């Protein structure tokens, strides 16, 4: 495996470094933007998780309308961008801008998650909310 940053070879890289990686035995279409590079079996990927989120108001640059269960915004984790479906708690039927609550989220693709990982929810060009992962489910 080779690491390179701005045409200079590296022995190691840290989180946030903009690097190029050459991995033998991996085809170009088997890796996408947002993937992480880790030792096998050290990171688990999940498609279901619970998160505490805050929904931005229109004044803060978010939505001006409420939403219900099965709402499907984009979720941004690190550099990954994944569509997910929101399921509201049984006692809440509608989420209004400005609300802070705990939601269940199902992603269309598996993503490596850790407790406390922060993420952003977007709809088109609007940032509609931000949250933190509180638990992961299989």
pLDDT tens for each residue of 24-54: 888 888 877 667 777 888 888 899 999 999 9
Q: Domains along the chain? A: 1-31 (no CATH), 45-137 (2.40.30.10)
Q: What is the pLDDT of residue 37?
A: 77
- Name the strands in the sheet holding 8-10, side by side, starting at the edge strand that comes first in the sequence: 8-10, 2-5, 20-22
Name beta bridge partners: 8.
5
Mean pLDDT per 10-residue run, the chain (138 residues)? 79 78 82 75 90 95 92 91 94 94 94 92 94 91
136 sits in which H/E element: strand 126-137
Q: What is the pLDDT of residue 2?
A: 73
132 alpha carbon, distance to own chain's centre: 10
Q: What is the pLDDT of residue 15?
A: 72
pTM of full prediction above 0.75: yes
């Amino acid at each position: 495996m080779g690491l390179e940053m701005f045409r200079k070879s590296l022995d190691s890289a840290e989180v946030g470094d903009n690097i190029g990686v050459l991995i033998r035995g991996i085809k170009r279409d088997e890796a996408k933007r947002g993937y992480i590079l880790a030792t096998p079996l050290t990171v688990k990927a999940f498609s279901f998780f619970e998160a505490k989120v805050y929904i931005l108001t229109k004044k803060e640059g978010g939505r001006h309308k409420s939403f219900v269960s099965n709402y499907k915004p984009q979720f941004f984790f690190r550099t990954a961008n994944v569509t997910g479906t929101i399921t509201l708690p049984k006692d809440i039927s509608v989420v209004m801008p400005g609300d802070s609550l705990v939601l269940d989220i199902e992603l269309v693709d598996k993503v490596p998650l850790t407790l406390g990982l922060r993420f952003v929810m977007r709809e088109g060009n609007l940032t509609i909310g931000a949250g933190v992962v509180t638990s992961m489910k299989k």
